[in-house]
Structure 1
Amino acid sequence: MRTCRASAAGKLTVVLATLLLTVGACGGGPSPRAWAASVCQALAPWRAEISKLTSGTQQQMTAQTTPAQARENLVRLFDGAHQASEDARRQVVEAGVPEIPGGEEISAGFRASLTRMRDAYGRARDTVRGLDTTRPAAFYDGVQAAVENLSKEYDASALDTSRLRSKELKAAFDEVPECR
């Protein structure tokens, strides 16, 4: 008798698991509006951090600090932007894939852009960290080169929702409050 109950319970578990997987697979990804809202929620703190980085970098370039102090501050700023970019990328991954034609490609594009930006900040951080602070002129030339390279990489990776091919997603980015 015991084996029959265990067997029936096992079969029921398999049937329920199959049903849940089937229902979950049919549900698809989030709607364009839900996906846009999630993405904009992920990007808001990232944009704030990038704005802070830009201001902080400009201040460090003109501040009366020693090269060692400037290096420490810039490494911290670039590391913060690196981490903020990774956090935003991870949240976009968690947002899923919008249920629209080409949704996987669009989501992948956002993730790839944030990955490139994260990596650009990491390279800038590592470059500045490796600069010799005993020769101030050479140090600041190196910082300038790192910032110029970061700017080029950033521009090449920029997220631009105005170039989306999906009318539904473009409208969602224009309409949801999280994106304003």
Structure 2
Amino acid sequence: MRAARVLVVAVLALGVAACGGPDGVAPKTWAKQVCTALTPWRAEIADLTSKAQQQLQAARTPAQTKTNIVDLLAGAEASSEKARTGVSGAGVPAVDDGPKVAEQFTASLTKARDAYGNAKRTVSGLPTESAKTFYGEVSKAFSTLKDEYERSAIDPSHVGPADLQKAFDEVPECR
């Protein structure tokens, strides 16, 4: 359950109902592939956030701030897409509702990627002549980003069946 919670926080993730069937990927293999895709994503998002905070403190003008924020958001968007591709490439876990579970993880990362992209486009289009107006609009853009990002989260009670949750708990890549 701990690994599943870590995934929920990391992915902040959100179907097609059916069984994974015999052609699906073994739960432990699927969990390992998913966590292998998500671990660098979580680290990169944390790194980008830290760098952005440093750059924002050093920025002297709205134009510098805008450049830094757009770069941060572009990096987060690209990293989210890379994680989405990795999770999608993991296939479908061979568990009850496997296709639904796989789709939820992929959809979650798609929504996270899109949230970053929407914020990037919003900030990129902001004028920087008035610092007060610029920073107010940046604040609104980040509020929207937060809301969109939170809506992308998977409900911990719907991460998947018990055998898949057990796999996440047992696979070292998910700890």
Match of 1:81 among 76, 80, 87: 76
Counterpart contact for 2:22–2:94, Cα < 8 Å: no
1:48 positional shift: 1.0
Tell me the amino acid that sits aligned with residue 139 of structure 1. Answer: F
State the aligned residue count.
155
Q: SS at the partner of 1:96?
A: coil
TM-score by length of 1: 0.80
C-alpha spacing 1:119/1:171, structure 2 compared with 1 (3 Å) = same
* Unmatched tracts of structure 2, length 5 or more: 1-20
Larger deviation: 153-162 or 97-106? 153-162
Alpha-carbon distance in structure 1 between the residues aligned to 2:158 and 2:56: 34
1:163 positional shift: 3.8
Tell me the amino acid that sits aligned with residue 104 of structure 1. Answer: P
Larger deviation: 101-110 or 164-173? 164-173
* Unmatched tracts of structure 1, length 5 or more: 1-25
Correspondence for 2:168: 173
Counterpart contact for 1:162–1:170, Cα < 8 Å: no
Correspondence for 1:98: 93
Q: SS at the partner of 2:117?
A: helix
| 1:108 to 2:103 alignment | yes
Instruction: Tell me the C-alpha RMSD between the 2 structures.
Output: 1.8
C-alpha spacing 1:37/1:160, structure 2 compared with 1 (3 Å) = farther
1:173 positional shift: 0.8
| 1:38 to 2:54 alignment | no
Alpha-carbon distance in structure 2 between the residues aligned to 1:103 and 1:27: 11
Tell me the amino acid that sits aligned with residue 148 of structure 1. Answer: S
Tell me the amino acid that sits aligned with residue 169 of structure 1. Answer: L
1:164 positional shift: 2.2
Percent identical residues? 50
- Which has the greater radius of gyration? 1
Alpha-carbon distance in structure 2 between the residues aligned to 1:170 and 1:64: 44
Counterpart contact for 1:131–1:142, Cα < 8 Å: yes
Alpha-carbon distance in structure 1 between the residues aligned to 2:123 and 2:54: 16
Correspondence for 2:153: 158
Tell me the amino acid that sits aligned with residue 134 of structure 2. Answer: F
1:65 positional shift: 2.1
1:161 positional shift: 5.3
Alignment of 1:118-157 (within 5 A): 118-157=113-152
Q: SS at the partner of 1:99?
A: coil
Alpha-carbon distance in structure 2 between the residues aligned to 1:175 and 1:144: 41
1:156 positional shift: 1.4
Greater relative contact order (Cα 8 A, min sep 6): structure 1 or 2?
2
Alpha-carbon distance in structure 1 between the residues aligned to 2:127 and 2:142: 16
Greater helix share, structure number: 1
Alpha-carbon distance in structure 2 between the residues aligned to 1:177 and 1:132: 47
TM-score by length of 2: 0.82
